[in-house]
A and B are shown apart, each in its own frame.
Chain A
Amino acid sequence: MIPMIFLLLSIVFLIVRVVPGDPVLLHFEKKASEEAMAEMRHELGLDQPLHIQYFQYLGGLLRGDLGKSMAPGRDSISQQIFSAFPATLELALFSMLIAVGIGVFLGVTASRSYNSIKDQLVRLFGIVVYTIPVFFLGMILLLVFSINLQWFPAGGRIKPLMEPDGWTFHFSPPPGGIVQVFAWSFFAGLISWVICLVVFKRKNVKFWPKGLLLSLLVLSAGWIIYAGIAWYLINRGVLQITGLYTIDSILDGNISKFVEAVRYLLLPSLTLGLMLSGVFIRLTRSNMLETLRLDFVTAARARGLKESSVVYNYALRNAFLPILTMMGLQFAMLLGGAILTETTFSWPGLGRYLVDRINFRDYTAIQGAVVFFGILVAIVNLIVDILYAYLDPRIRF
């Protein structure tokens, strides 16, 4: 894992520094004076020898510093990426939800009636959504639902008036107080509580009274730790409550804002979700076909359980592990799709940031964004590996 990330960072460094010859020259398309170019090189540290640049780059990464943009303000790339990241995260989460939902449902449906017309239709659907360029699908949805029917807005993330501070690349400190910090971190605490309960169940710890008391301890400890982290990050100006508008609006108790956020989110996440669902349909279908043939399913049927219960509670549970792995693997594809979807829907996330920077020939920012994408995928894969090892009782470290 570590050598892989390291290698990946080096690859990106080399691509930007070595492949084009000189990124500064490329940025100005040879139309600037020597002094201006020398000044930019100096400000960005590009006049140093290559190996020193490399160590500066790695050192900066350790501090979470991705360098300075080539744009006139020489803004910090890390800050720009952090302010764009929540939008991408929100889009990614919802599309993954939609993809898995559609994929699992259709996959199960297809596997229950193997080789029937229904099955063939679902398979065809899976292939077609996979071969549609995601931005083409997005444009069709835009054309039908927002331009002709006018049900949904045609782009952006929320009504301009409802933006926390408008979408800029700069980050302003959020208005969150200690109450909001606690409200937000409550969910994190709750998650750690649930994990703790599951662990106890696995370890056969008695629920009453030891398990409950210990888990409550974990809940409060987790809560306070997360609140501390959130508080620190907010004071550093890094975190904007969560930055996910759908969740923020609920935390604010602002229903109309929530409805708006969902209306803006629906088409982009549906586009991305449909694109990804093809893989999940295929995977669920083939796994379910295998699982439904196993003895324990027949046994469950023989005991007279309802068919839906057999399929969803018995078979699907066993077919779910590969789906989880696939969720991790598909995350990389999701990010690629997100770049195109964000551009289609003017969604102010990382993908649009990257495309924006490409158009400005801002090579240091491109490098920063690409590195960030890579690290993100590595982290997600790590999480999925851990989850997998935990959920599959056959793997024990």
Chain B
Amino acid sequence: MTIIGLLLVSSIIIMTVIGPWISPYNPTAINVSPPPNPAPPSADFPLGTNLLGQDMLSRLLCGGGVMLQVALLSVLFCFIIGVPIGLLASYVGGNLEKVLNIVMDSFYAFPGLVLAIAIAAMIGRGVFNMALSIAVVYVPSYFRIVRSQVLTIKELPYTEAARASGARGRTILLRYILPNIVPSIVVVATVNFADAILTAAGLTFVGLGVGIDVPDWGWDLTQGRVLLPSGSWWVITFPGIMIVLLALGFTLIGEGLSELLTPRLEK
């Protein structure tokens, strides 16, 4: 399962990287195919064209970049924000922990997509802003996993031994505890990749994605909705399947990793 996931994700990444060189047309050039558009798949345009007369195959080959960037950036943000806060809260304890806990809980309880939409609507479009609004939604999951892990590990004999031998709090936290919680953070992060991709697609669908000048599967899918009544199945099918494959790939990796890593942690 993990291997299938890895294959899916890596081939999509490779495809996106080399896409601009192998795509037959310019993905953002309009009216590369003569009207009427959207045209069904044909020999010249194997996946058809959209309303603007853009070649769907070229857009498919180049269009993964936005999703991948948003997912990567948001997971990175989550790491940078969630892990230190979690470490700090659980190690310092006291009122700081209580306050952070309530703040994180209220973020966590909020419907994720609604929160992301609210933030994205306020801070505007673009890859960076999308990633930021998605990261805000998922930081609490990192905070929670880090906190619960630290609380367990803090009580283990080897941490106590380190404390008894006079190690400073910072050393214990960074040298003794952090390396042991990395596996569970990695599992959360992989699952997060899939969620971030789906949330990014959702943001695009409600009109908060990147602009028209970048090829993006989410944007293609969104445009396809207007064309549905005319029966233009090719406009939505291919970008939709790509998003599913990408999310599926990350989910499979996450599943495999958690099976691989958690039994050791539980015992």
**Which A residues form the contact surface with B (CB < 8 A)?**
3-5, 7-8, 11-12, 15-16, 19-20, 23, 26, 127-128, 130-136, 139-140, 142-143, 147-148, 154, 332-333, 335-337, 339-340, 343-344, 354-355, 358-359, 363, 366-367, 370, 373-374, 377-378, 381
Closest to A16 in B: B122
- Chain B residues positioned under 8 Å from A128 (CB to CB): 244, 248
**B111 with A333: CB separation less than 8 A:** yes
* 25 A-B contact pairs sorted by A residue (CB < 8 Å): A8-B106, A11-B107, A20-B122, A127-B248, A128-B248, A130-B251, A131-B251, A133-B198, A133-B243, A134-B202, A135-B201, A139-B225, A140-B237, A140-B240, A332-B111, A333-B111, A335-B111, A339-B117, A340-B113, A340-B202, A355-B207, A358-B117, A359-B207, A374-B111, A378-B109
**B113 with A370: CB separation less than 8 A:** no
The CA of A131 and the CA of B103, in the complex, are separated in Å by 29
The CA of A378 and the CA of B113, in the complex, are separated in Å by 16
**A139 with B229: CB separation less than 8 A:** no
For B107, B122, B207, the residue with the greatest tally of chain A CB atoms inside 10 Å of its CB is B122
A263 to chain B, nearest CB (A): 18
A349 to chain B, nearest CB (A): 13
For A5, A23, A336, the residue with the greatest tally of chain B CB atoms inside 10 Å of its CB is A336
The CA of A332 and the CA of B103, in the complex, are separated in Å by 17
Given known contacts A19-B123, A147-B231, A339 and B251 CB-to-CB distance under 8 angstroms = no
Asked if B164 CB lies within 8 Å of chain A CBs, one says no
* Residues 108-165 (chain B) with a chain A CB within 8 angstroms: 109-115, 117-119, 121-124
Closest to B123 in A: A19
Contact of A148 among B206, B221, B231 (CB under 8 A): B231
- Number of interface residues, chain B, beta carbon within 8 A: 44
- Chain B residues positioned under 8 Å from A135 (CB to CB): 201-202, 205, 221, 225
Q: 4 extra interchain contacts, Cβ-Cβ under 8 A, other than A336-B114, A377-B111?
A: A7-B106, A335-B113, A336-B113, A336-B202
Contact of B118 among A130, A147, A366, A381 (CB under 8 A): A366
- Chain B residues positioned under 8 Å from A377 (CB to CB): 109-111
Contact of A332 among B112, B121, B206, B236 (CB under 8 A): B112
Asked if B21 CB lies within 8 Å of chain A CBs, one says no
- Chain A residues positioned under 8 Å from B43 (CB to CB): none
**A333 with B122: CB separation less than 8 A:** no
**B251 with A373: CB separation less than 8 A:** no
Closest to A374 in B: B110
- Chain A residues positioned under 8 Å from B114 (CB to CB): 335-336, 339, 354, 370, 373-374
- Chain B residues positioned under 8 Å from A366 (CB to CB): 118, 121
The CA of A142 and the CA of B233, in the complex, are separated in Å by 11
- Chain B residues positioned under 8 Å from A8 (CB to CB): 106, 109-110
A269 to chain B, nearest CB (A): 18
**A333 with B112: CB separation less than 8 A:** yes
B198-237 vs A: 1/0 string, CB under 8 Å?
Answer: 1001100111100000000000010011001101010011
Given known contacts A363-B122, A378-B109, A7 and B206 CB-to-CB distance under 8 angstroms = no
- Chain A residues positioned under 8 Å from B207 (CB to CB): 355, 358-359
A343 to chain B, nearest CB (A): 6
Asked if B105 CB lies within 8 Å of chain A CBs, one says yes
The CA of A175 and the CA of B113, in the complex, are separated in Å by 37
- Chain A residues positioned under 8 Å from B113 (CB to CB): 335-337, 339-340
**B240 with A143: CB separation less than 8 A:** no
**A131 with B198: CB separation less than 8 A:** yes
Contact of A142 among B107, B221, B228 (CB under 8 A): B228
**B206 with A131: CB separation less than 8 A:** no
Q: Which 7 A-B pairs have the closest CB atoms?
A: A336-B113, A131-B247, A136-B240, A332-B111, A7-B106, A4-B106, A335-B111
Contact of B244 among A3, A132, A367, A374 (CB under 8 A): A132
Asked if B14 CB lies within 8 Å of chain A CBs, one says no
Asked if B257 CB lies within 8 Å of chain A CBs, one says no
Given known contacts A8-B110, A11-B106, A358-B121, A136 and B229 CB-to-CB distance under 8 angstroms = no
- Chain A residues positioned under 8 Å from B117 (CB to CB): 339, 354, 358, 370
**A19 with B119: CB separation less than 8 A:** yes
**B118 with A370: CB separation less than 8 A:** yes
- Chain A residues positioned under 8 Å from B102 (CB to CB): 3-4, 7
- Chain B residues positioned under 8 Å from A337 (CB to CB): 113
**A127 with B251: CB separation less than 8 A:** yes
Asked if B56 CB lies within 8 Å of chain A CBs, one says no
**A139 with B118: CB separation less than 8 A:** no
Asked if B61 CB lies within 8 Å of chain A CBs, one says no
A356 to chain B, nearest CB (A): 10
- Chain A residues positioned under 8 Å from B189 (CB to CB): none
- Chain A residues positioned under 8 Å from B221 (CB to CB): 133, 135-136, 139
- Chain A residues positioned under 8 Å from B237 (CB to CB): 140
B249 to chain A, nearest CB (A): 9
Asked if B71 CB lies within 8 Å of chain A CBs, one says no
**A139 with B228: CB separation less than 8 A:** yes
- Chain B residues positioned under 8 Å from A140 (CB to CB): 236-237, 240
**A139 with B236: CB separation less than 8 A:** yes
